[in-house]
Amino acid sequence: MKNGQNRSDVKPGTKVNIILKAHQRTGEKTEGIVKDLLTNASFHPHGIKVRLEDDQIGRVCDILEQ
């Protein structure tokens, strides 16, 4: 399972787990489908920031399926 730190691994339509800003302390994961990529860098140590199809925003922690 990929960890979502590389932008090239995350594309719109990809099913992922993200950690919302409000859940950074607890590490609670939210599952969804990527709508937009918000991080422009090719790599981010905390995960690429994305917007899900339900408009929630967070950093990718797990890529579930391409």
The domain that holds 45 is classified in CATH as: 2.30.30
Which pLDDT score, from 0 to 100, does residue 51 have?
A: 98
- State the pLDDT at residue 19: 97
Q: Is residue 40 part of a domain?
A: yes
Could you read off the pLDDT of 7-64 as tens digits, one per residue?
A: 999 999 999 999 999 999 999 999 999 999 999 999 999 999 999 999 999 999 999 9
Report d(CA 29, CA 51) in Å as an integer: 14
Cα distance between residue 7 and residue 27, in whole Å: 21
pLDDT at residue number 22: 96
Kindly state whether residue 1 falls inside one of the protein's structural domains.
no
Total structural domains within the chain = 1
Residue 2 lies in a domain: no
In a domain, 33, yes or no: yes
Asked if the structure places residue 12 within a domain, the reply is yes
